[in-house]
Structure 1
C-alpha cells in the first residue's frame, strides 16, 4: 500500500504554524509527516527557519502521526553524536513513531561555523561514518569511536527508544542513491524516478521503504499559484549542484532570477485542477514509492487541506 504524508516546510513557517499544519494534516487524512531541517531558508521570501528538534517535541503532543526529518545533515553543523541524542529523544517522545532522514547537506546550512565545505565524495564519506556513529549510540551502550572524520569518547545515550531509530538516507545522484541502498534503512528522494528506485533496490535496498516528496501550490487562480510557487520555491528548479554549494539565501535569490515562470509551471502542480494534483502524485506511485509527501507552498494551508481531504486523497491509489 502507498501512504500519503504531509511535508512541513520549516523554511516557510514558524513553529506554531507548523504544529497547526500537522493537526490539519491529520484531520485531512494524511498518514505521516515529514519536516525539513534547515539553519537558513533558501531565500528571504520564505522567511523562517525554526530549530527542528524543538518543533518535533511539540508535534509529539499535537498529533498521533509518525514524524521524520527530511532531511537532517549530521556531519558538519551538528556532530553525529549530538544528532543521535536529538533523534533518540524524539523517538522516545513520539513513542517509536520517529524516523531520522539524513543527507549529505548543503553549504547553505552547514558552513556557518566557518568550516570548509568539502566536495561531494568527502561529504558522502562523512555521512557514512556519521551513520555508523549514530547506530552505535542508539544501542544505549557506552561507545568510543576514532574514525577518519569523527571522534567520540565515552559517550552513552541514557534516553533511548526500545528499538534503534531507523535511519533513511537521501540520495539524488547515482552515488548517493547506491549509498542509501547500502547503509540506509530506507531511501528518500524528491523526484518520481523509477530508475533511482531500481538503483536503490539493486544496491541493497531490496525490501526497504522508498519515500518521495513533492511541492504543490493549491489555489483557485492557477496563474497566481504559479507566481507564488516561483517566488518561494524557484530554488527547486536550479540545475546541477547549485543547491549543494551556494552558501547564502542571497546567492539563491541571484541564481533563481534565471528560472523562468514556465519551468515552475511545468514541474509544480499549481491551481485547483484535481487531475493535475493526482497526476503529480501518482507518478511517484507508478515509480514504486511506498510513501509520498506533499507540501503546500504559500499561506493558504486551510484551503489546501480542505481540497485534498475532499477531492484528492479519496482518489489516490492505495
Structure 2
C-alpha cells in the first residue's frame, strides 16, 4: 500500500509556480500530492490561493498523480454541499485519483473568514454531520437533509463523482484519532514524536474496530518535513520564514491567530527543534532511515514537505535519489 507523495504548500508559493511543481513532482516519480487549504498563510510573507481552484488546474495538468486537500475544513468557511460539489468536480477531471481529507480547522482560517469559532467538541460534531451529508450527495441522489448544523432541500449533484471517493480524517493528537477510525476511510496526520504517533495509530485502529472495520486495509497518511541538502542554515531559514507557526499547535485554537501572530509564535522555534522534527541532509540513506521509522509505525502514504530553499531541485533530487531507495528497501522487506 506504500505511496510516496509530495506536499504542495500554497502558503509559500504563488499558484502558477505551485502548478509547475506538481507537474515536476509527477515526472519525478511522486505518486500523490496533498495541498493545504488555507484562507491565511502561516506568515505575512506567504500566499494563500483558493485550493479547490488550484486542484482543478492540477488535475488537468497531470495524468497519474493522486490529488487531494491536506486538509480541508468542511464546516465553517464552507457548507458541506460545496465541498461535495468541489471534490466531485475534481474527480471528473481526475477519476480514480482523487481523495478528500477533512479536519476541524484552525482559527487562523475559519475565524478570520467566517467570524465563527465554536469549541472543539462542537466542531467535531459538525464535521461528522458534514461527512454524512457529503457522502449522501456524492451518491447523485436527491438529498433533503435536516441536521443539527446543516440542511438541504432536494439538493442533488448533477455532476457526481465518477469514482468512489475516500474521506481521510485528520488527527493531530491521540484524543481525536479514534474518531478518525470510526468515521473516516483513513487517517491523515503530521510527523510528531514517535510515542504520540504510535498512540494516534493505536487509537485510530481501535476506533475502526469499534465500527467493525479492518484497520489494516485503511490508509494512514503522514506529512513528513524534510530538506534534501547539507545546507542546514538555508533550509532552517525557509521553514522558519514560512512554516514555523504551524509547529506551535497549541495556538491553533486562538481566535486572534493571524499570520503575524503565527510568525511571532513560530519565531521561538529553535534549530534544536527543527533537528528533532525534520530530516535535513544531503545523504539519501539518512532520509531512508528517517522515513523507515514511520513505515514501521504503519503509515502507508508519506507526503514529503520541503520548504526550500529550491523546491524544484528538491523534487527532482528526491525523486531521483531517495524515492527509489525507499521503494527498494520496502521491496526487500516484503520478500525477506
TM-score (norm 2): 0.89
Whether the 8 Å CA contact 1:77–1:112 is kept in 2: the answer is no
Identify if the C-alpha distance between structure 1 residues 229 and 112 changes in structure 2 by more than 3 Å, giving closer, same or farther: closer
- TM-superposed deviation, 1:236: 3.4
Superposition pairs for residues 10-49 of structure 1, below 5 Å?
10-45=10-45, 47-49=46-48
- Which of 247, 255, 260 aligns to 1:250? It is 260
Alpha-carbon contact 2:8-2:36 (below 8 Å) kept: yes
User: Mapping of 1:297-308 within 5 angstroms?
Assistant: 297-308=307-318
Per the alignment, in what secondary structure is the counterpart of residue 134 of structure 1?
A: helix
Aligned-residue offset at 1:75? 0.2
Query: Equivalences for 1:149-164 in 2 at 5 Å?
Result: 149-164=149-164
Q: Which one is further off, 213-222 or 86-95?
A: 213-222
Whole-Å separation in 2 of the counterparts to 1:170 and 1:91: 21
Deviates more, 1:242-251 or 1:284-293: 242-251
How far apart are 1:257 and its partner, in Å? 2.6
- What SS does the corresponding residue of 2:44 show, helix, strand or coil? coil
Alignment of 1:149-228 (within 5 A): 149-191=149-191, 193-204=197-208, 206=215, 207-228=217-238
Per the alignment, do residues 21 and 315 of structure 1 end up closer, same or farther by CA in structure 2, a change over 3 Å counting?
same
CA-to-aligned-CA distance 1:33-79 (integer Å, 9 cap, x gap)? 1111111111113x111111111111112112110110000000011
Figure out how many residues of one structure are paired with residues of the other and give that number: 316
- Post-superposition offset of 1:201: 1.2
Deviation at residue 293 of structure 1 after TM alignment: 0.6
**1:121-145 deviations in Å (ceiling 9; x for gaps):** 1111111010011111111111111
> TM-score under structure 1 normalisation?
0.94
1:123 aligned partner: 123
Which residue does 1:57 correspond to in 2?
A: 56
Change (3 A) 1:315 1:114: closer
Q: Structure 1 residues 4-13 or 247-256, which shifts more? A: 247-256
Give me the whole-angstrom Cα distance separating, in 2, the residues matched to 1:113 and 1:188.
24
Runs of 4+ in 1 over 4 A off after TM superposition: none
Give the structure 2 partner of residue 278 of structure 1.
288
Change (3 A) 1:128 1:232: same
Give unmatched runs, 5+ long, in structure 2.
331-336
Structure-1 separation of matches of 2:39 and 2:113: 12
1:145 aligns with 2:148: no
Q: Aligned equivalents of 2:178 and 2:142: distance in 1?
A: 31
1:183–1:144 distance in 2 versus 1, CA, 3 Å: same
Contact 2:39 2:113 in 1 (8 A): no
Q: In structure 2, how many angstroms separate the alpha carbons of the residues matched to 1:89 and 1:52?
A: 13
Deviation at 1:269, TM superposition (A): 1.5
How far residue 167 of structure 1 moved from its aligned partner, in angstroms, is 0.9
1:314 matched to 2:313? The reply is: no
Q: Contact (CA 8 Å) 1:80, 1:133: kept in 2 or not?
A: yes
